[in-house]
Amino acid sequence: MAVKQQLRMVAYRTFYRLPSRWKRRIVRTFQPTYTVGAVILVRDPEASRILLLRQPPGAGWSLPAGLMDRGERPVQTAARELAEETGIKLPLERFRPANPNALVHTRGQWIDMVFEVEVEPPAELVVDAAEVIEAAWHRLDTLPPLTVSTSQLLAHYGIGPYKDYPEVLTK
């Protein structure tokens, strides 16, 4: 493993172990108003499975996602993050805005721009072990333990453990 990759792995693991308010403060230093990110809901062509990631500290599974860079469009962020986190590289035209496309989290001051894409599951997913511990396809009817934020986000699309709880959608 290259030194640069090892340093990146240590930096990500250290960041993910920080208390939530410290992580938010670090992000706000570079993006002081609302933080905007892209989330990708990746399904197989039959729409029976979704792609999920386990990231440090590994407490639950989540969707591919990341923060927008300055000057970047949300769809570009979605394509970049999917490639970085899984090795799946797709043209921008393949990504379509989910409905709803923007989920605004006023308490945490962030916006998730959500995109959907169908992908034939590749033989192998490429993860870097720094930002992503594991990537895998999961059946919609037998999802693994999800992070709370992922469960809440998926409820907007009728997926996951909170899909039948309308109070989740009003937060």
From the list 10, 67, 44, 65, the residue with the least C-alpha distance to 136 is 44
Q: How confident is the model at residue 58, as a pLDDT?
A: 76
Q: Is 39 exposed, middle or buried (0-12, 13-18, 19+ CB in 10 A)?
A: buried
CATH number of residue 60's parent domain? 3.90.79.10
Task: Count the domains in the chain.
Answer: 1
Tell me the mean pLDDT per 10 residues along the chain, length 171.
82 86 81 82 95 90 94 96 95 96 81 95 86 93 94 93 80 57
In angstroms, what CA-CA distances link 58 with 32, 33, 61, 142? 28, 28, 7, 19
56: containing domain: 3-169
